[in-house]
A and B are shown apart, each in its own frame.
Chain A
Amino acid sequence: MNIEYDNKDKLLVIKIDEEIDHHAVEKIRRRADYEIQRYMPKRVVFDFDNVSFMDSSGIGMVVGRYKLISMLGGELSMINVKENLYKILKMSGISKIIPIQEVKI
């Protein structure tokens, strides 16, 4: 997991580089929450460029971060979403609430 924070834009980019399943979300959730509370960003972006797999555990994880970020007055979006990830994000309906900046085929 790679964290980049742009102080000027108050933008936090969280780049995940592993398969997102029940086993992985525990650690991702803990680290993401820590960074979000540390920087209090205006915008948070989940970068999925290095994520080749995600199941429903990922939906729960993204929705959980969305709730935290919204509560702190920030916005969340997702980028570099591969086709197979997009399928389940769409199915769950969260792509209607959390914008996806780019879908990768």
Chain B
Amino acid sequence: MKDLYENEMKLEFLSKSNNEAFARITVAAFAAQLDPTIEELADIKTAVSEAVTNCIIHGYEDREGIIKIRTKIFRDTIIIEISDTGNGIENIDKAREPLYTSKPNLERSGMGFTIMESFMDDVKVESILGLGTKVTMTKKIKLLNKEKEEELKDSLLFT
């Protein structure tokens, strides 16, 4: 029997702003095995950058903390979990509203969650005040060619 996830990787790093580029590039490199288009890859990079930046600015408010990323690939879908053990979010529905920001003085635009939602197929936010936040984003990578489709059908038959 096949494993539930065909591939998986985990990443842990300090909440330093110079790790933002490292995080999005690493996840994109892992996602590359699904043969995404340049646009899909750019969408993933941007969504990861948003979630990681939120951990640093809002979760830890520039204190030092650990950010964890777990990325799974399941058939043609990539699932990216990004979490911190920082402040947490009091009102998730409000936080997800376009243009809502708790830090307008830091020139934030309140577009992070809106960008994640529009660039990924699904965005789930779990948070407990004082304990931390986990964002789970899912994106299906569209098949570009028939050959890949056939391969996928085969793999479906054997699961």
List residues of chain A with CB under 8 Å of any chain B CB: 19, 21-23, 25-26, 29, 53, 55-57, 59-61, 63-64, 83-84, 88, 91-92
Q: Is the CB of A55 within 8 A of B118?
A: no
Closest to A23 in B: B17
Q: Is the CB of B111 within 8 A of A88?
A: yes
Q: Is the CB of A92 within 8 A of B111?
A: yes
Q: Is the CB of A21 within 8 A of B21?
A: yes
Q: Count A-B contacts at CB 8 Å.
A: 62
In the complex, chain A residues whose CB is within 8 Å of the CB of B87: none
Q: Is the CB of B46 within 8 A of A84?
A: yes
Give the distance to chain A from B36, nearest Cβ to Cβ, in Å.
Answer: 13
Q: How many residues of B contact A (CB 8 A)?
A: 24
Give the distance to chain B from A9, nearest Cβ to Cβ, in Å.
Answer: 28
Closest to A94 in B: B109
Q: Is the CB of B21 within 8 A of A22?
A: no
User: CA separation between A84 and B46, bound complex, in Å?
Assistant: 9
In the complex, chain A residues whose CB is within 8 Å of the CB of B111: 56, 59, 88, 91-92
Q: Is B31 an interface residue (CB 8 A)?
A: no
Closest to A60 in B: B107
Known: A25-B107, A60-B106. 14 other contacts (CB 8 A): A21-B17, A21-B21, A21-B49, A22-B57, A23-B17, A23-B20, A23-B21, A53-B24, A53-B49, A55-B115, A56-B111, A84-B42, A84-B46, A92-B109
Q: Is B68 an interface residue (CB 8 A)?
A: no
In the complex, chain B residues whose CB is within 8 Å of the CB of A88: 46, 111, 115
Give the distance to chain B from A51, nearest Cβ to Cβ, in Å.
Answer: 12
User: CA separation between A64 and B108, bound complex, in Å?
Assistant: 9
User: CA separation between A92 and B17, bound complex, in Å?
Assistant: 23
Closest to A64 in B: B107
Give the distance to chain A from B26, nearest Cβ to Cβ, in Å.
Answer: 14
Closest to A57 in B: B53
Q: Is the CB of B39 within 8 A of A22?
A: no
Closest to B56 in A: A22
Residues 43-65 of chain B, each 1 if its beta carbon lies under 8 Å from chain A, else 0: 10110011001001100000000
Q: Is B77 an interface residue (CB 8 A)?
A: no
- Give the contacting residue for B46; candidates A25, A55, A92; CB below 8 A: A55
Q: Given A21-B21, A63-B107, does the pair A53, B45 have CB atoms closer than 8 Å? A: yes
Q: Is B88 an interface residue (CB 8 A)?
A: no
Q: Which 3 A-B pairs have the closest CB atoms?
A: A23-B17, A60-B107, A59-B109
Closest to A92 in B: B111
